[in-house]
Every structure is written in structure tokens, then in C-alpha cells.
């Protein structure tokens, strides 16, 4: 290896080292030690749709696996990769936080709505940890895995006239969850919700929703329907 190659290798190794060190620097309020471990966020390819849960950076906080909380962070959740990114203002860089150090996080979006996420083991064929948004907490939680896929679609021209055939598409997956029973998938619709109850309970559940004038048309009304049902003592089937 000649001197020029050695010099290039040395500079490359220095860059990697500095990148890792700076990635752990945190600008959080009231925090005096570098505890946020991560790497620089990759730039996603631009297609139709959105790979992120929010359009903008949102002020929030994270809870570490040891229970410690770090607040005043600008966060963005990647629904495409199921990853949490924060903006490190000290080095003007997006940092993808190591999932292993996080147990939960929350942020307030552009419309003032608070979103709370929790990391959980998802018990399927390929065991993995996922970030679930907590839509409702109780003896049974209502969770949502805010998944976005990159799918092949019919060819289209983007804003620059480039021909593409891929797009980001939402595939939000909803679950009832309890530590004892695990996960029960549920569709965010009237029929999907009713299917989670035994036949004897379905009629009084429908009557309860009519009485409270709750018509499921979106996520907000779906949450309202479930919370009303749970408050009246009905139990879902797992």
C-alpha cells in the first residue's frame, strides 16, 4: 500500500470515528452527558407518498431503556424504516437513534396533537421489536404500527419530469394488546371492531355506539368507539 492510499485510509477512519462521537452528542435541555447513541440518517429516495409520519421536525422526548428521560429533542419518526431520528443542532445533522437504547418516545405534531410510542416485542414468525403508537391505554391497549411500504406502482412522472414506478404507501396495522394475551389484529371500521367481540356482545355494542352517536369513519372515531365500549365493560376476544 503506497503512502497516498495509507493517508486516504487514515482520513476515512478519522471521519468514521468523529461521526460516531458527534452522533452521541445531545442538545437536550438539562442533560449533561452524551447518552443518545446513533448514526447519521440516510437520505431516502424521493417518490410519491411520505416515508415519515410527520412532515416536519416535532419537539418531543425519549425514554431510555434504563428509565431515564431526555427532553427538548427535535424528533421525526420514519414509518418506512420504523426508526426514530433526531436533529442534532450542534452539528446540523440528522441522527438515527439506536433502537436498543429506547423504550418509548413522544412528540407533539404540527397540529398540536400529542403522539406517544412504545417499543414492544412483536411475536410473529420473525420476532422483532417495533415502535407502536399508543392510541388508548387500559386493561387492553389499542396500538397502531404506523407502517409505510415502498411499493411498485404504475409509471408516473415526478415534479421534475423523471419517470418512476415506486411510491410510499401507508399500511397502518391496528392491534388490541395485553401483556397476558398478546396481540389481536383489528380493522379500524365498525365491522372490524364488532368482530372482536363474541356474538352475544355484538348487538349491545352496536346499540351502545348508536346511543353515543359514534360513527367510525377515521382513526379518531375508532379510538372514541373503543374507549366507550371498554368503559362499559365489554371485553375483546384474543
Tens-digit pLDDT profile for residues 40-74: 999 999 999 999 999 999 999 999 999 999 999 99
pLDDT of residue 31: 40
In this predicted structure, what is the pLDDT of residue 126?
Answer: 56
C-alpha cell at 193: 371492531
Q: Which range has the worst mean pLDDT, 69-78, 87-96, 161-170?
A: 87-96
Stretch among 5-14, 41-50, 117-126, 152-161 having the lowest mean pLDDT: 5-14
Residue 157 backbone phi and psi in degrees, to 5: -100, 130
Given a contact cutoff of 8 angstroms between Cβ atoms, the answer to whether 142 and 174 are in contact is yes
Q: What pLDDT score was predicted for residue 24?
A: 43
Element (H, E) at 145: strand 141-157
Task: Judge whether residue 183 has pLDDT over 50.
Answer: yes
Compute the distance between CA of residue 192 and CA of residue 226 in angstroms, rounded to an integer. 11
Q: Are strands 58-64 and 69-78 parallel, antiparallel or unpaired?
A: antiparallel
57 or 29, higher pLDDT: 57
- DSSP states along 68-109: -EEEEEEEEEETTTTEEEEEETTTTEEEEE-GGGEEEEEEE-
Q: How many residues does the chain have?
A: 238
Question: What residues form DSSP beta bridges with 134?
Answer: 143
At 225, the pLDDT band (50, 70, 90 cuts) reads very high
Q: Which three cell numbers stand for residue 93?
A: 445533522
pLDDT at 195 over 90: yes
pLDDT at 14 (0 to 100): 46
Determine the average pLDDT of the residues in 101-105.
96
Which three cell numbers, joined as nine digits, stand for 9? 485510509
Neighbours of 39 (CB within 10 A): 14
The answer to whether 175 and 132 are in contact (CB under 8 A) is: yes
Residue 2 has pLDDT above 90, yes or no: no
In the DSSP assignment, the letter for residue 161 is S
| Cα–Cα dist 232/228, whole Å | 6
DSSP-assigned beta bridge partners for residue 172 = 146
pLDDT of residue 32 exceeding 50, the answer is no
- How confident is residue 125, by pLDDT bands cut at 50, 70 and 90? low
Check whether 6 has a pLDDT greater than 70. no
Report the distance separating Cα 197 and Cα 234, nearest Å: 8
- Which pLDDT does position 123 carry in this prediction? 73
Has residue 221 got a pLDDT over 60?
A: yes
| pLDDT score recorded for residue 80 | 97
Residues 6+ apart with CB under 8 A from 230: 136, 138, 139, 140
Amino acid at each position: 500500500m503506497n503512502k497516498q492510499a495509507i493517508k486516504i485510509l487514515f482520513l476515512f477512519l478519522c471521519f468514521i470515528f468523529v461521526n460516531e462521537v458527534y452522533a452521541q452528542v445531545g442538545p437536550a435541555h438539562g442533560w449533561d452527558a452524551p447518552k443518545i447513541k446513533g448514526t447519521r440518517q440516510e437520505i431516502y429516495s424521493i417518490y410519491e407518498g411520505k416515508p415519515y409520519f410527520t412532515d416536519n421536525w416535532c419537539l418531543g422526548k425519549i425514554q431510555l431503556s434504563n428509565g431515564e428521560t431526555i427532553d427538548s429533542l427535535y424528533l421525526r419518526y420514519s414509518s418506512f424504516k420504523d426508526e426514530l431520528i433526531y436533529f442534532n443542532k450542534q452539528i446540523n445533522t440528522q441522527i438515527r437513534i439506536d433502537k436498543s437504547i429506547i423504550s418509548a418516545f413522544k412528540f407533539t405534531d404540527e397540529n398540536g396533537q400529542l403522539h406517544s410510542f412504545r417499543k414492544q416485542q412483536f411475536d410473529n414468525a420473525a420476532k422483532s421489536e417495533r415502535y407502536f403508537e399508543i392510541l388508548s391505554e387500559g386493561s387492553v391497549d389499542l396500538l397502531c404500527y404506523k407502517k409505510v411500504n415502498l411499493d411498485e406502482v404504475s409509471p408516473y412522472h415526478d415534479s421534475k419530469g423523471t419517470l418512476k414506478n415506486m411510491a410510499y404507501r401507508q399500511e397502518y396495522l391496528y392491534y388490541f394488546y395485553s401483556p397476558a394475551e398478546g396481540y389481536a389484529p383489528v380493522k379500524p371500521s365498525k365491522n372490524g371492531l364488532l368482530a372482536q367481540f363474541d356474538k352475544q356482545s355484538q348487538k349491545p355494542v352496536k346499540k351502545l355506539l348508536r346511543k353515543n352517536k359514534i360513527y367510525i369513519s377515521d382513526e379518531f372515531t375508532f379510538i372514541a368507539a373503543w374507549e366507550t365500549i371498554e368503559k362499559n365493560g365489554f371485553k375483546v376476544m384474543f
